[in-house]
Amino acid sequence: MKQILSLAFVALLAACQTAPVDTPIADSPIPVPQAESAPDAPQPIPGQQWLYGSAEASVAMRQAWAGIAGFVEAKAASGPSHGVVLAPGSMPEQPSFLACEGKPLAAVFDADETLIWNLGSMGYFTRAGIGFDPGIWDDWERTGAGKAVPVPGALAGLDRIRAAGVTVIVNTNRAAVNAAGSVDTLREAGIGDFTHGETLFLQGDAPDGSGKDGRRAMIAGNYCVVALVGDQLGDIADPFNDKSLSVAERRALTEAPSVAGLWGNGWFVLPNPVYGPSIRGGFDDVFPPETHWEPTPQAEAEVIN
């Protein structure tokens, strides 16, 4: 059974490598692990078990949201001179940031797996034994209100951020044509009331497709953005999603001295082990050759016997 689960999860990881930047999960079918006691009953994949079910994920999210709220409160109290959106043309290796110039403060959040967990659609995909279907996801954007839940810690964190006088803005790759459904979904999850083009920005609002820099520039035209929060690096800045970057290069870019101090200090990433551009890499990307290890012959013999 362990081997079956492992193979299924490997298949998920392989499939996710080709997923678009902000596509919830891969667009190719994923084998669903089967329960030993009920062979036909689909089971959540390990990443779903961790993210959507575990106490550890709930704690991790609440920890993160408390940190985000505390950071935003401190920023609001201090009166920042500049925001944290990369200035147009600026790159992580040599970043520059726009001055606040007296603009009102805002915090900008991704929606999916940042503000809300998409339990309705994820549960459907898993029950149906499919990884991801863009048509069904589109339907979910329009009709899923009431079946997505707030990420643990988000509601308390948003209350603190709003009480500090900071506007909450959502920048999501949900489609602009489905704005009404996404407004309903966010409201039903308790996240708040959002207005398309003012406090809600969607794919189609700017000409750069699933890239979010265009929409971040639109938001920064009206606000001093003191925090960017998401579950994928594209929620922070598009250069992190350059598809030519290897797993190691992408990771190294986040560790560059020019931006290393921003994580947890204006830039915030929440864990998502279920889907997205973080789910990629071959064996040597994940287990570097210098760490390869083999058990002693005696221990290996004991396993075989």
Q: Which residues bind Mg ion (CB under 5 A)?
A: 110, 112-113, 231
Q: Which two tokens stand for residue 293?
A: 């290890």
Distance CA 224, CA 46 (A): 39
Judged by beta carbon, residue 26 or residue 100, the one nearer Mg ion is: 26
> Of all residues in this chain, which one has the CB nearest to Mg ion in the complex?
112
- Give every CB contact of residue 59 below 8 A, 6+ residues apart in sequence: none
Judged by beta carbon, residue 97 or residue 275, the one nearer Mg ion is: 275
- The answer to whether the beta carbons of residues 52 and 126 sit under 8 Å apart is no
User: Which residue shows structure tokens 């490598």?
Assistant: 17
Minimum CB distance to Mg ion, residue 107 (Å): 16
Judged by beta carbon, residue 262 or residue 274, the one nearer Mg ion is: 274
Element (H, E) at 189: none
Minimum CB distance to Mg ion, residue 110 (Å): 4
Minimum CB distance to Mg ion, residue 21 (Å): 10
Strand partners, 229: 109, 268
Minimum CB distance to Mg ion, residue 276 (Å): 7
CA-wise closest residue to 24 among 152, 151, 173: 173
CB neighbourhood size of 40 (10 A): 6
Minimum CB distance to Mg ion, residue 173 (Å): 8
Residue at 275: amino acid letter: Y
Judged by beta carbon, residue 183 or residue 229, the one nearer Mg ion is: 229
Judged by beta carbon, residue 141 or residue 231, the one nearer Mg ion is: 231
